[in-house]
Structure 1
């Protein structure tokens, strides 16, 4: 009840009128809050259903039952449960520009071309928007089953025979109870994906080490509340998620994925780019000069050998990213460009293999997307991963900025993508509607009390 301060000399009728007005204002505000749109682009069916619930007269709601239902929904809820004002103007300035001919470059530098380039399912059959309708719920559940089955099948397919990185992994605990039920988010956190520092050996004694920035990868960590990881998936085309993406404190993108011309779907805000060593090395990406790699934090990675030392990595990297990295840092000495520790990349691979259990995953490093998640999760309480696990917008395109068609971009043929996405689903706290209809998977940073059993012995 709103309190109204008044003097004792005021007439009783005036006092009653003031209290009545206050009560009416409070009631109206509560009704407005209850009717606020939960999804940015509400469909006519969802709007009509919501309006019908508001108009129902004389509905007696049991408070205990409401609290019980809320407790059940708390584990998996829509990522759009926020107050959304469609009239509010939200503009984010971005100084980045696409790399030269970026949309015509190879869709994924490390992608092994799949023999099966076409999708084996029709996502449009499962498309729906009214999350309150039983038919929509059934469609979403069916699509989820199809996607999970496809990932499972991809994991069980014949793995690449070559072991280019000399991976020699031996499980620490086998099929122990602890390993099977240890939270996936803790496995990702304890992999400890990190950037190299000037004090790391052997860089502390090499002139090259002085090129590393003195600052930390993420600044003002206490002010970070929400983060968005924007995949480069072709299903982002037409998604109209740009405004949702730009509302996050940190927005992570990958390689040379442009924003200009795609702002409505992917937003315009970029905080950090995770780039692989081929993008840094190959001349067509023009890493040292392309505007898209300036005025933004860069985290570049190359896997090196599984058990190789950093000294070995300097002389036998998968791709020589060091030359262009040095050119970039000398050209832009105030830039924030970091190199990711290759040992931590392979620790993340170990986390994936541990999650997969008895099933062997591809003996190749994780994708940039999964590496980015591991970089971000320790610093961000809540991470929204956009179109990483495919939604019903799945169209077979590799990237939203190219017309290349290849299902391997989604389900994997070189990176252990299937294992990554199954693990991401295991970490997800959003409801199926958010993930498989709207394309947003939500991962929360685990509580320190849940983690701490160090499987890797670091």
Structure 2
């Protein structure tokens, strides 16, 4: 009897174990199928993403790019740009020049990281922080590197030109308020023979009898910055009715990027005084209107300035007028220069350098006086920004972009605030559009 019971129990046990094994096997098969489905889904997703595009993102001014060979092979690759805290995206196709720029910037970034690691320091390159600030119209001297901050403090302390600003400061004026203030405060003025010592010295023979006042519809101001290289903006620049260039910047050999039309050239006094610029013989100064300027004392004492200019511009000016009497050639009045400086300081809470504005900002203001609309190229630099000072010279210094002697970052910030330009145009083209004074309507 007991043997029968044992046999029955053993049979039941085997039956239960068999059913349990089948259930476990079933669940194991189901789990494997689910795993294969999930794995296939994610694998296909990654393959599709790789085939569709290679994403290059901006974040906090840092550029991350794939190898340039892979970029060139992937013709459908797009440029995804992140902007601001919300990182909204905007896509556009990459040109060959941008491929090259991104590859070079990637190399620069890797070298920078190696240098930081080698020196065991937490110092980072703040160039792109400054760039983002300029594109958004919000910069400060605290964003500059320590060297430039020290230079600015030294210039403020020395105050070579005896600047004594007594006006009010307001950094929160609206775009319209800024434009109206600029229109009222910075009317174009050149030297004439109505003031001493020029009346006594007979300068009526040399100063043009007619002021520079022709009004153009569309004008281009072409920065000499190194970042204009590889811009391919030459044709667009030449499409303007009038084009302003600076100092000794040539167009021959650089037509693809800067164009070849020149209507007006503005020069600091070094160009006239230094023989290396060949002012009286070079063709780049011929058959156009010329404007020269020199930093006089802040109170623009003309007698004192004539006797001791920063660079001797008066003798070369007279020599040029004798050789080319029909060419329009003007010297900007010091009051115009320093009124423009006052405009910058009055809209900046910080103490800016007590030195004259840059030739770039002077030139922009001149064209706002003469044009209905002004397009400014690479004054606010694009993603092509580099430490190369001028596109036609092999000299490198970040101060050429962000300022040391001149209050450049403050000037650029005001141009951004007064202009109309999408962040796309600023980043890709380095272009901002400003209205001419004739198109600005202000309250009476």
Partner in structure 1 of residue 188 of structure 2: 193
1:186-238 Cα distance to aligned partner (Å, 9 max, x none): 2332222322223344434431232011233243x2xx211000000101111
Deviation at 1:316, TM superposition (A): 1.5
Whole-angstrom CA distance in 2 between matches of 1:409 and 1:257: 15
The alpha-carbon distance between structure 1 residues 268 and 209, as it changes in their structure 2 partners (threshold 3 A), is: same
Partner of 2:419: 428
The reply to whether residue 153 of structure 1 matches residue 143 of structure 2 is: yes
- Alignment partners' CA distance in 1, 2:254 and 2:284: 14
1:212 to 188, 193, 207: 207
1:337-376 aligned at under 5 Å gives the runs 337-356=329-348, 358-376=349-367
Cα distance in 1 for partners of 2:376, 2:181 equals 18
Q: Show the counterpart of 1:280.
A: 272
> Can you list the C-alpha shifts for 1:312-346, whole angstroms capped at 9, x where unaligned?
21112111100101111101111111100011101
Gaps of 5+ in 2: 1-59, 66-70, 91-127
Equivalent in 231, 249, 252 of residue 239 of structure 1: 231
Shift of 1:136: 5.7
Could you tell me how far apart the structure 2 residues matched to 1:235 and 1:450 are? 35
Q: Is this contact kept in 1: 2:265–2:290, CA < 8 A?
A: yes
Which residues of 2 match residues 128-147 of structure 1 at below 5 A?
A: 135=81, 138=87, 145-147=132-134
Distance 1:122 1:198 in 2: 55
TM-score, normalised with respect to structure 1: 0.65
Q: Which runs of 5+ in 1 are unaligned?
A: 1-119, 453-458
The verdict on how the C-alpha distance between 1:149 and 1:320 changes in structure 2, with shifts beyond 3 A counting, is same
3-state DSSP of counterpart to 1:183: helix
Moved over 6 A (4+): 139-143, 179-182
Distance 2:417 2:358 in 1: 18
Number of residue pairs matched? 326
Give the superposition deviation at 1:145: 2.7
Rounded to whole Å, the distance in 1 between the matches of 2:443 and 2:143 is: 31
Counterpart secondary structure, 1:328: helix
Does the 8 A contact of 1:253 with 1:273 survive in 2?
A: yes
Q: Tell me, in whole angstroms, the C-alpha distance in 2 between the residues paired with 1:303 and 1:354.
A: 19
- Which protein, 1 or 2, shows the higher relative CO under an 8 Å CA cutoff with sep ≥ 6? 1
Aligned partner (choices 240, 246, 256) of residue 248 of structure 1: 240
Partner of 1:109: none
Structure with higher helix content: 2
Moved more, 383-392 or 426-435: 426-435
Alpha-carbon distance in structure 1 between the residues aligned to 2:245 and 2:79? 34
From the CA coordinates, give the structure whose radius of gyration is larger: 2
- Kept in 2, the 8 Å contact 1:226–1:380? The answer is yes
RMSD (Å), alpha carbons: 3.2
Of the candidates 402, 419, 427, which is equivalent to residue 393 of structure 2?
402
TM-score by length of 2: 0.67
